[in-house]
C-alpha cells in the first residue's frame, strides 16, 4: 500500500484557545444552516450584472437600491442581498434557525455575552420576518431568523439553468486574528469542527465548522479581522465550474478569476474563486462530503503541505491570503480591523522564510525548481 502521508485524522479538533470567550450559561440557538449574506455594493448595476447576468443567480425581488437573489434550488426568499451603499462591506452573515422560539435563545445567548443585540419583528430585509441581529464577540454582524417567505424552487426549471448554474448557498468564510478563540466561541454556538490547518508548534491557521451535514457553514481563516473572506455557492458538478471560467473568458471578464479552478485538499471540494465588481470574493464550490454523524472525524492538515489548499499543488496567490471585505456594525459603520499576531499562513508557506512540501520526508529545499519558484514571493516571472 502506498504511504500517502496525508492529513491527520482525529476524533476531536485539537484546538485549544489561550484567550477564550466565556461560555454563556444560556443555551445557543439551534442553527439549521447558513442562509444568506447581505452585501453592501457601491455600483448596484455592475453588481447586478455580475451576479445575475454572468453568474445566473435569480432575482426574487428588487428596487432602486436593493436586489434580492437566490440560487436555483432555494425555496426561501433569498441567499444574497445586494444593497447600494458608500463603502463595500458585509452587513450580515445570516443563519436560519429551527423554530421561531430559537430567536429568544439567540437574544439570551448574546445578551449574556454583553453583545449588542437588535430584534425586529418585521425583519431587516424583505421576505424575512422576526429576526435577531448581533455584533458577535468576534466583531462579526450575525443574523438569525426562522420566518421567511417561500418562493418557487427552480430545481426542475432546467429551461432556466445555465451551464454554470449555481444551485445552493454553501458557506461563508470569515477572517479573524485568533482562530482558536473563534473556534471555541463557534463551538459554544453549536458548531462542530470538520477540518483545520495547523503546524507542529500548535499554531492554528484556519478551521472549518458546520451545522448542516457538509464540511462547513462557515470557516475561520487567520488574518487581520474581523473581515469577510468569501461567500460560496454550490454547483452540481465540476464541469459547471469549468463552464463559468469559459463564460468569463468569452465575455473578456477573466480578470474576475482570482484563483483556480482546482480541487481543494481541505474539504476535497472542486473550487473557483472570483472577485465581484467591489472586490468581494465569491467561491464556486462543489462535491465536498457528508459530515452529519456525531462522531464525524476531524481532518487536520500540516500548514506546510502544499496539497492542503490545492490538491494538485498549485500555489495560492498572495491576494487570496491578504485581501478581504470589511464588515459592518449594527449602525452600518465598518468594524475596526485588528492585526493577527500569530504567524501568517502566507509567511510560513510562501514568504522569504516559508517552505512547502509535496512529501513530508523531503528536505525543505527539495521542491523541484519549477515548483520552488512558484512558492517564493518575488520568484514569479
Ligand atoms: Fe470556501
Q: How far is the CA of 209 from the centre of ligand 1 (A)?
A: 11
Q: How far is the CA of 289 from the centre of ligand 1 (A)?
A: 14
CA distance to 22, 23, 177, 188, per residue, from 113 (Å): 8, 8, 19, 12
CA distance to 18, 64, 179, 192, 217, per residue, from 11 (Å): 21, 50, 19, 11, 20
Q: Are strands 281-286 and 227-234 parallel, antiparallel or unpaired?
A: parallel
Shared domain check, 367 and 288:
no
Q: How far is the CA of 1 from the centre of ligand 1 (A)?
A: 32
Shared domain check, 369 and 327:
no
Q: How far is the CA of 247 from the centre of ligand 1 (A)?
A: 21
Nearest 5°: phi and psi at 313? 80, 15
Q: Which of 6-10, 356-360, 371-375 has the lowest mean pLDDT?
A: 371-375
Report d(CA 114, CA 108) in Å as an integer: 10
Shared domain check, 175 and 114:
yes
Q: How far is the CA of 25 from the centre of ligand 1 (A)?
A: 32
Task: Identify whether 42 is part of a domain.
Answer: yes
Task: Identify whether 12 is part of a domain.
Answer: no
Q: What is the largest CA-CA distance in the chain?
A: 62
Secondary structure (DSSP) of 54-112: IT-PEEEEE-SSEEEEE-TT--BS-SEEEEE-SS-EEEEEEEEESSTTHHHHHHHHHHH
Task: Identify whether 132 is part of a domain.
Answer: yes
Q: How far is the CA of 206 from the centre of ligand 1 (A)?
A: 11
Question: Domain with 306 in it: what CATH number?
Answer: 3.10.180.10
Q: Which three cell numbers stand for residue 380?
A: 514569479
Query: Across the strands, what pairs with 183?
Result: none
Cis peptide before 216 (omega within 30 of 0): no
Report d(CA 217, CA 171) in Å as an integer: 4
Inform me whether the pLDDT recorded for 282 exceeds 80.
yes
Q: How far is the CA of 59 from the centre of ligand 1 (A)?
A: 23
Task: Identify whether 20 is part of a domain.
Answer: no
Q: How far is the CA of 233 from the centre of ligand 1 (A)?
A: 9
Report d(CA 327, CA 115) in Å as an integer: 16
**Domain range for residue 369?**
350-381
Do residues 190 and 31 make contact, with C-beta atoms less than 8 angstroms apart? yes
Q: How far is the CA of 320 from the centre of ligand 1 (A)?
A: 11
Q: Which of 155-159, 271-275, 372-376 has the lowest mean pLDDT?
A: 372-376
Q: What is the pLDDT of residue 20?
A: 96
pLDDT in tens, 162-177: 999 999 999 999 999 9
pLDDT in tens, 288-344: 999 999 999 999 999 999 999 999 999 899 999 999 999 999 999 999 999 999 999
Q: What is the pLDDT of residue 374?
A: 53
The DSSP code for 305 is: B
Shared domain check, 92 and 177:
yes
Report d(CA 333, CA 87) in Å as an integer: 9
Could you tell me the pLDDT band of residue 2, with boundaries at 50, 70 and 90?
Answer: very low
Q: How far is the CA of 232 from the centre of ligand 1 (A)?
A: 6
CB atoms within 10 A of CB 255: 8
Helix (H, G, I), strand (E, B) or coil at 186: helix
Shared domain check, 357 and 323:
no
pLDDT in tens, 90-110: 999 999 999 999 999 999 999
pTM of the model: 0.96
* Mean of the per-residue pLDDT values of the chain: 94
Shared domain check, 272 and 236:
yes
Task: Identify whether 325 is part of a domain.
Answer: yes
Q: Whole-angstrom distance between the N-terminal and C-terminal Cα of the chain?
A: 39
Shared domain check, 213 and 77:
yes
Q: Is 151 exposed, middle or buried (0-12, 13-18, 19+ CB in 10 A)?
A: middle
Query: Domain tally for the chain?
Result: 2
Ion ligand 1 — residues with CB under 5 Å?
A: 173, 232, 283
Q: Which three cell numbers stand for residue 307?
A: 496539497
Shared domain check, 363 and 322:
no
Amino acid at each position: 500500500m502506498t504511504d500517502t502521508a496525508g492529513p491527520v485524522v482525529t476524533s476531536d479538533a485539537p484546538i485549544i484557545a489561550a484567550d477564550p470567550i466565556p461560555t454563556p450559561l444560556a443555551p445557543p440557538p439551534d442553527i439549521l444552516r447558513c442562509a444568506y449574506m447581505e452585501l453592501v455594493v457601491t455600483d448596484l448595476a455592475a453588481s447586478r450584472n455580475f451576479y445575475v447576468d454572468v453568474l445566473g443567480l435569480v432575482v426574487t425581488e428588487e428596487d432602486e437600491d436593493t436586489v434580492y437573489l437566490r440560487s436555483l434550488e432555494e425555496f426561501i426568499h433569498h441567499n444574497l442581498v445586494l444593497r447600494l451603499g458608500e463603502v463595500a462591506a458585509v452587513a450580515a452573515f445570516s443563519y436560519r434557525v429551527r423554530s421561531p422560539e430559537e430567536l429568544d435563545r439567540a437574544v439570551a445567548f448574546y445578551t449574556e455575552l454583553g453583545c449588542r443585540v437588535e430584534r425586529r419583528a418585521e425583519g431587516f430585509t424583505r421576505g424575512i420576518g422576526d429576526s435577531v441581529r448581533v455584533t458577535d464577540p468576534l466583531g462579526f454582524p450575525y443574523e438569525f431568523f426562522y420566518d421567511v417567505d417561500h418562493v418557487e424552487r427552480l430545481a426542475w426549471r432546467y429551461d432556466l439553468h445555465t451551464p454554470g448554474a449555481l444551485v445552493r448557498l454553501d458557506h461563508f468564510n470569515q477572517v479573524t486574528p485568533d482562530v482558536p478563540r473563534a473556534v471555541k466561541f463557534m463551538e459554544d454556538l453549536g458548531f462542530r469542527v470538520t477540518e483545520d490547518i495547523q503546524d507542529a508548534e500548535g499554531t492554528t491557521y484556519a478551521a472549518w465548522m458546520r451545522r448542516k451535514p457538509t464540511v462547513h457553514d462557515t470557516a475561520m481563516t487567520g488574518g487581520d479581522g474581523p473581515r469577510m473572506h468569501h461567500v460560496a455557492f454550490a454547483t452540481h458538478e465540476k464541469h459547471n465550474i469549468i463552464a463559468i471560467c469559459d463564460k468569463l473568458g468569452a465575455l473578456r471578464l477573466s480578470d474576475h478569476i482570482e484563483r483556480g479552478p482546482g480541487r481543494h485538499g481541505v474539504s476535497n471540494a472542486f473550487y473557483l474563486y472570483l472577485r465581484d465588481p467591489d472586490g468581494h470574493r465569491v467561491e464556486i464550490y462543489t462535491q465536498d462530503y457528508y459530515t452529519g454523524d456525531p462522531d464525524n472525524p476531524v481532518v487536520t492538515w500540516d500548514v506546510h503541505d502544499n496539497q492542503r489548499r490545492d490538491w494538485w499543488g498549485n500555489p495560492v496567490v498572495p491576494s487570496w491570503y491578504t485581501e478581504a471585505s470589511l464588515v459592518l456594525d449594527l449602525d452600518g459603520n465598518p468594524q475596526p480591523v485588528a492585526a493577527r499576531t500569530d504567524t501568517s499562513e502566507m509567511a510560513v508557506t510562501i514568504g522569504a522564510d516559508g517552505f512547502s512540501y509535496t512529501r513530508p520526508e523531503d528536505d525543505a529545499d527539495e521542491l523541484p525548481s519549477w515548483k520552488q519558484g512558484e512558492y517564493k514571493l518575488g520568484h514569479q516571472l
